[in-house]
Amino acid sequence: MSPSDKMSMIHYQIMWNRLISVVEEQAQTLIRTAFGAPTREAGDVSAGVYDTQGRMLAQAVTGTPGHVNSMAMSVGHALKKFPLDGLDDGDVLIFNDPWIGTGHLNDIVVVTPIFRRRKPVALFACTLHVVDIGGVGVSGGGKQIYEEGLFLPPTKIVEAGRLNQWLVDIIAANVRESVQVLGDVFSEISSNDVGGRRLLAMMDEFGLESLDLLAEHILTESRRASLEAITRLPFGTYHNSMTVDGLDEPMVFKAALTIGPDGIDVDFAGSPGIVNKGINVPLCYTEAYTSFGVKVVVAPHVPNNAASLATIRVTAPEGSLLNAPHPAPVGGRGSFGQMLPDVVMGCLQQAVAAGVPAEGTSCLWNIRMMGGYGRVDAPSATMLRATPFNLTSFHSGGTGARPRQDGMSATAFPSGVRNVPVEVTETMAPLLVWKKEFRTDSGGAGRQRGGLGQLMEIESAEAMPFATMSNFDRVRFPPRGREGGLPGATGRVSLASGEELPGRGLATIPAGDRLRVEMPGGGGYGDPFARAPDLVAEDVAFGYISAEAAATIYGVVLSETGEVDLAGTETLRAARKPAA
Amino acid sequence: MSRLAVDIGGTFTDVVVETPTQRFSTKVLTNKAAPELGVLDGVRKALALAALHPSEIGLIVHGTTLATNAIIERKGAVTALVTTEGFRDTVEMAYEHRFAQYDLFIEKPKPLVPRPLRFTVPERLDVRGQVRLALDEPALLRLAGTLRARKVESIAIGFLHSYINPMHEQRAGAILAAELPDVRITLSSDVCPELREYERFTTACANAYVQPLMARYLGELREQLQVEGFSCPILLMTSGGGLTTLETAVRFPIRLVESGPAGGAILATVVAAELGLRRILSFDMGGTTAKICVIDDGKPMASRSFEVDRQYLFMKGSGFPVRIPVIEMVEIGAGGGSIAGVDAMKRVQVGPDSAGSDPGPACYARGGSEPTVTDGNLILGRIDPEHFAGGSIRLETERAETAIARQVAVPLGIDPLLAAFAISEMVEENMANAARVHAVERGTDLSGRAMIAFGGSAPLHAARLAEKLGIAEVIIPASAGVGSAVGFLRAPISFQVVRSRPSLLGSLDDAGLNTLFDAMEAEATQVVRLGAPGADIVITRSADMRYQGQGHEIAVQIDDARFDAESGTRLRTAFEDAYRTMFGRGIPGLEIEVTSWTLTATAPAVTAGPAMGVNTGAGHAQPAGQRRLFDPQHGAYRTVPVYRRAELGPQQTISGPAVIAEDETTTVVTTDFDARVDQTGAIRLLKRRVEVAREAA
């Protein structure tokens, strides 16, 4: 079958389509069998198929952007230590090295070579977020990677079909929820097997001895389609900087994005240095969220694979926060990593005529709560009577307004996770959620309004103190608007009784008081005075904005029944319109 | 006793009358403004064909898409949601996620009840159902005034943790009912007593939203049928594949949403039973979508989650969930009208956008210019342009060629014939992929199954789809054109009740569970009795189970009629078996939890009707003609015989490649298949044994 053969061109398309379906099957299998809330509720997984050179040919659409580029590279890293010609049918590799995996120890990567007629033809890999990996884990409290848990370099978890019991015992002895963690690892192994079986069936059906020609077809077409999309943009270097809350002092992320005939290069020179807390970001995770931010704007239609991702290259100075070297602690790398799409979109705004969304909440506002002895800063005698728990509930603020659409309220972006239902949270821990509603006026005003943040209030259900460990940004510096759009509201963590709590750090909620979490709203897009008056009237009717905001920020006059007073609005808008 | 079935679809209303020995059917256009008039029209025609008087009909079974359409077109009642203080936005926040990762411009589905019509009252139960904050009754009385002023027609009441204790919802419902006697009220604890507030509230809102409309329509229909001279009971087809009474349908109209596809699945089940086939894949393909359903041992797979109003055609997560009993099936945007094009990677893409029937495919010459699957089939020689849809539409091959050349062939640099082949291969591949993923999700395998194919487009693609799925036998039943309505007449009367009562297998409260199941059984049998007085009622029980800590449950049948000290152990074994079947291996040492308990009461289908069909063909038919059919193995046309389905005799074998034509559709017999018509009139395609042997080797 030569590539010039037109029938075979149709077959390549069918097989490419099949590969994408196969990795989707692999990812769905993982989600259905996984244990940790990050995976089962939120879909924090990834799955992909690779050629014998370790080049990713297809990646499941299901999953989260944190794994976009990191997964593409991880198999290549593993093959450096275990060249394919030394692997046998029935071998399975495992690792969680954050620098060659997906950015922190809780993500375990499993790689399985697939053999046909005793020759390796492909590899399948997947990753998921296990509930615990020992140490201080994702809390951000580690000073070095050694404190964050069990570190697995690439090694064989299965050798020629036999489970490596020694390694299984080591894992079991070092994590807090060993049965669940090992259950997750087993489901990763099975999901790669599912992928492998489907691939072999496809090769039988089409009579393929190797994937080489198919791989060339996929990679060539993907590179061409990616470059076609990229080279439609004006070449040049575009700069942006974004100030975030940081740790004790604000931090400024700086990006220079260069569009050229050969792809897009993003460099984070000038960005902050590493910090003494587990919120540093390994380069692979920086690459992942940066690539996602670029790709979702420039070429969202091109499937993820080695070639399409290779057209976006990311660099950050060694030793900086965004390229933190071993042994820096990186457990909580998400809260800064998730801000990166906003940083690069600020560059792309200058190049993309149709515009890009305004800044949004961006980092997840996951509420992490702990109760019981040893977990709360309260007298031990009291806490011994409290129910022990440790729970993360996934939640989000508003996204930035889009050039022609409002932002989305209480919606995760760029992360791909889902929330945890209140009734489920209350089943898992002795907590009462008293409030979970949109925050009026939190969406940044604009011709297109930013998405609204939400307010949650949580109390102990057993009148005990409990602790919360926050890792939030956008508390001091709000998501900015674009093209005249106003910023969204900042977030805030406090006690219902009034006391302000830190956006990043540990706090205690006394018995009878409530934890109050106000999540940020997204930035607006365009001049608020340009927003259609009937949309403003609807926003007031829906309680998304207040009547005062309608008048003072949007310049829209409403009657007592909420109808637009067109003449009054025109006068008001004309009078306050800046001369420029 | 003769029986009558009516299926209102988007375009056609199908009516089937069965006497003990014969079947008569007719199709009329659906009357969108007054659906009951369309029904009467069809019923009169069908009775005339059967030469029966209304008084001779012993049962009417009815299914309709009206509820679904009301939701999709947002034409339901002015509906309010009354919910726990602090939770006004639960139904709008949904899952707080984007259903499409790589699309910055998605719009999330708008809730059926907009924010101004969502009201809260102070009240709160905790996870054990204990009162943390008493229901504020004066606040409810004040709210009643507001609801009246807003001219609310229907109310959904959804409070936190009402699945475990419905007390506050019931009290609030009683207060509002007394204040607003003309307004319909749905309690979330009634329609969906399950953990997870978003799904429960949304289901309650959807039920409330369609209730006034459905109550009005069903009342009208009953009246009109009485005027017409019918005195028999009317039963409604539900999405779960069981029949229910009109009264229950008015209470839970949301359970009617997917009745048409459920009828199709039942038809496939009946055909399988008649042919003695145990493992089935049903494949229903029409103009816009294809539906694929796995049926084992006469039972289609059941589920309790369904998504309505998907914003992105058929994309999971883009609609909103309703928790009702449904027959599990996968539906994808692949039909005769699905539009083809080429993407940036020069890959042929087909669907999910559809040209529908208006303007329709390019070859209809009704103003459509986009190339569709039907245009491709025409060029490949699978469809006869002169006899499409019984000759009612004359297809224009040149228009199909022009459209395919412009949108597919030229961009790919190939000729229109190969482009047409690429379109059909891709749509078949899409269906095969959807079927495979569906099977994996359900823990089953497709190879070795028999496929039952119906719907206008299915026989054109069934053989090739079977090849892709490793299926060696395809059955194309007679009466496939009105399949859902025929299925209605084979459905049992049933009702399902579910309760969320989280329990660990290690510490089952057997006495409490017995009490719970007694109450569920009383509720379910009472509903079934209404429709089947005096019938033997079969009770089945199941539990949604998972390893503690997992997020997804699997439904496991409970064999025990009563719970005792050993029930936990037996359930553990049953769960572990089911888990291993689905996912390959169990997880030793982990506690297992039950999230929900389900009970279904079923009275078997009233009577068996006539056989699916009768073979009227005699002797050994000769081909009615010849046609050029594209042969994928040689990449070129090949002349093949054309047979008329009605002429084929029972002993005759036709070797592929060939086509078998009939008024509604054409069956393509690919090179690897033989075709035979059996005594019921069904076409059976069998993969030739040499092929099977070669594959085994």
Q: What is the band of A314 on the pLDDT scale with cuts at 50, 70, 90?
A: very high
**Distance between CA atoms of A524 and A230, rounded to whole angstroms?**
26
Q: What is the pLDDT of residue B535?
A: 85
Tell whether B430 lies on the interface with A, counting CB pairs under 8 A.
yes
What fold is seen in the domain B2-71+215-259?
A: Nucleotidyltransferase; domain 5 (3.30.420)
Whether residue B122 contacts residue B85, with contact meaning beta carbons closer than 8 Å, is answered with: yes
Q: What is the band of A553 on the pLDDT scale with cuts at 50, 70, 90?
A: very high
Tell whether B638 lies on the interface with A, counting CB pairs under 8 A.
no
pLDDT in tens, B124-177: 999 999 999 999 999 999 999 999 999 999 999 999 999 989 999 999 999 999
Whether residue B60 contacts residue B233, with contact meaning beta carbons closer than 8 Å, is answered with: yes
Which tokens hold the place of B209?
A: 């939203």
CATH code: domain B493-603 is: 3.30.1490
The yes-or-no verdict on residue B613 having pLDDT over 80 is no
Q: What is the band of B612 on the pLDDT scale with cuts at 50, 70, 90?
A: low
The yes-or-no verdict on residue A491 having pLDDT over 70 is yes
Coil, strand or helix at A521: coil
One-letter-per-residue 3-state SS of B548-591: CCCCCCEEEEECCCCCCCCHHHHHHHHHHHHHHHHHCCCCCCCC
pLDDT in tens, B90-114: 999 999 999 888 899 999 989 999 9
Q: Chain A partners of B340 at a C-beta cutoff of 8 Å?
A: none
Least confident interval from A37-51, A281-295, A521-535? A37-51
The yes-or-no verdict on residue B425 having pLDDT over 90 is yes
Q: Which of A34-48, A57-71, A482-496, B261-275 has the highest mean pLDDT?
A: A482-496
**Distance between CA atoms of B272 and B354, rounded to whole angstroms?**
31
Least confident interval from A91-105, A183-197, A403-417, B579-593? B579-593
| Contact: A131, B549; criterion CB under 8 Å | yes
* B118 membership: H or E segment, kind and range: strand B118-121
The yes-or-no verdict on residue B694 having pLDDT over 60 is no
Which tokens hold the place of A173?
A: 């002895």
Q: How many CA atoms lie within 13 A of B689 on its CB side?
A: 0
Whether residue A39 contacts residue A185, with contact meaning beta carbons closer than 8 Å, is answered with: no
What does pTM read for this prediction? 0.91
What fold is seen in the domain B76-206?
A: Dna Topoisomerase Vi A Subunit; Chain: A, domain 2 (3.40.1360)
pLDDT in tens, B615-625: 555 667 789 89
| Contact: B348, A61; criterion CB under 8 Å | no
Q: Pick the residue from chain A with its C-alpha nearest to B550.
A: A35
When pLDDT is averaged across residues A372-401 and rounded to a whole number, the result is 91
pLDDT in tens, B429-477: 999 999 988 887 777 788 789 999 988 889 999 999 999 998 999 999 8
**Distance between CA atoms of B153 and B91, rounded to whole angstroms?**
19
Tell whether A410 lies on the interface with B, counting CB pairs under 8 A.
yes
- Nearest-CA distance from A534 to chain B in Å? 16
Q: What is the pLDDT of residue B679?
A: 78
**Distance between CA atoms of A70 and A285, rounded to whole angstroms?**
6
**Distance between CA atoms of B695 and A204, rounded to whole angstroms?**
10
**Identity (one letter) of the amino acid at B425?**
E
Query: Judging by DSSP bridges, how do beta strands A155-159 and B326-327 pair with one another?
Result: unpaired
**Distance between CA atoms of B49 and B34, rounded to whole angstroms?**
24
Q: What is the band of A3 on the pLDDT scale with cuts at 50, 70, 90?
A: very low
When pLDDT is averaged across residues B641-660 and rounded to a whole number, the result is 88
| Contact: B344, A301; criterion CB under 8 Å | yes
Q: What is the pLDDT of residue B314?
A: 64
When pLDDT is averaged across residues A145-153 and rounded to a whole number, the result is 96
Q: What is the pLDDT of residue A580?
A: 44
The yes-or-no verdict on residue B546 having pLDDT over 70 is yes
Q: What is the mean pLDDT of chain B?
A: 89
Coil, strand or helix at A157: strand
Q: What is the pLDDT of residue A190?
A: 87
Q: How many CA atoms lie within 13 A of B562 on its CB side?
A: 3
Cα torsion angle, A82, A83, A87, A93, sign: positive
Query: How close are the terminal C-alpha atoms of chain A, in Å?
Result: 65
The yes-or-no verdict on residue B689 having pLDDT over 80 is no
Domain assignments of chain B as residue spans, ordered by start = 2-71+215-259, 76-206, 493-603
When pLDDT is averaged across residues B585-612 and rounded to a whole number, the result is 77
Q: What is the pLDDT of residue A2?
A: 41
Cα torsion angle, A464, A470, A475, A480, sign: negative
Q: What is the pLDDT of residue B303?
A: 84
- If one compares B608 and A538, the residue with the highest pLDDT of the two is A538
Whether residue B291 contacts residue B330, with contact meaning beta carbons closer than 8 Å, is answered with: yes
| Contact: A418, B96; criterion CB under 8 Å | yes
- Percent of chain A's residues with pLDDT above 70: 98
| Contact: B347, A13; criterion CB under 8 Å | yes
Q: What is the pLDDT of residue B583?
A: 67
ipTM over 0.95: no
pLDDT in tens, B302-326: 888 888 877 665 677 788 899 998 9
Q: What is the mean pLDDT of chain A?
A: 92
Tell whether B103 lies on the interface with A, counting CB pairs under 8 A.
yes
The yes-or-no verdict on residue B697 having pLDDT over 60 is no
Domain assignments of chain A as residue spans, ordered by start = 6-224, 357-437+450-525, 532-576
Q: Chain B partners of A182 at a C-beta cutoff of 8 Å?
A: 587
Which tokens hold the place of B634?
A: 């040689």
| Contact: B348, A13; criterion CB under 8 Å | yes
- Cα B697 from chain centroid (whole Å): 39
Q: What is the pLDDT of residue B635?
A: 85
**Distance between CA atoms of B319 and B304, rounded to whole angstroms?**
16
Q: What is the pLDDT of residue B651?
A: 76
When pLDDT is averaged across residues A31-45 and rounded to a whole number, the result is 72
Q: What is the band of B693 on the pLDDT scale with cuts at 50, 70, 90?
A: very low
Q: What is the pLDDT of residue B584?
A: 64
CB contact set of B223 (below 8 Å; sequence gap of 6+): none
Query: Judging by DSSP bridges, how do beta strands A431-438 and A454-460 pair with one another?
Result: antiparallel
Q: What is the pLDDT of residue B28?
A: 83
Cα torsion angle, A132, A133, A139, A141, sign: positive
- If one compares B130 and A68, the residue with the highest pLDDT of the two is B130
Q: Which among A16, A422, A516 is the top mutation candidate for probing chain B, defined by the most B β-carbons within 10 Å of its own β-carbon?
A: A422
pLDDT in tens, A436-456: 999 999 999 999 999 999 999
Tell whether A117 lies on the interface with B, counting CB pairs under 8 A.
no
Looking at residue A479, the DSSP 8-state letter turns out to be P
| Contact: B89, A229; criterion CB under 8 Å | no
Q: Edge-to-edge strands of the sheet including B118-121? A: B118-121, B79-84, B154-158, B184-187
Least confident interval from A146-155, A529-538, B191-200? B191-200
- For residue B389, is it left (φ>0), alpha (ψ between -120 and 50) or beta? left
The yes-or-no verdict on residue B250 having pLDDT over 90 is yes
Interface of B with A in 150-209 (CB under 8 A): 160-161, 195-198
The yes-or-no verdict on residue B358 having pLDDT over 50 is yes
| Contact: B414, A6; criterion CB under 8 Å | yes
